[in-house]
Amino acid sequence: SNEIDTVQRQYQLDMERAVRDDAGYKAGYVLRERNAKNRWYVIQIYSDQEALTKHLNSPGYRFMMSQIQGSLQGVITKVLDGDILV
């Protein structure tokens, strides 16, 4: 649907911008379940907590969220502190 395409495109644009512009933003991935097209998993990797905070406060992230906020329901955020092994 158009709404799903908008969410996917906005995440893609923000992640491309963040890798380029936001110090400490290492990578971002958006996954979606095949049988539940409205269920998304967004994985973002930062060098540290400061990089996460800067990204969440960046104009690009705030713009992206303003474009998709109405499409989001039941959002659960988990911040994991770990090492990238592979």
Domains annotated on the chain, with CATH: 2-71 (3.30.70.100)
pLDDT score recorded for residue 1? 67
Q: How many CB atoms lie within 10 A of CB 54?
A: 17
The C-alpha atoms of residue 7 and residue 71 are separated, in whole angstroms, by 8
Choose among 5, 82, 21: nearest CA to 57: 21
The model scores a pTM over 0.85: no
* DSSP assigned state of 28: E
Point out the residues of the chain with pLDDT beneath 70: 1
CA dihedral 27, 5, 71, 14 (to 10 degrees): 30
Q: How many CA atoms lie within 13 A of 26 on its CB side?
A: 10
pLDDT score recorded for residue 84? 78
pLDDT score recorded for residue 47? 93
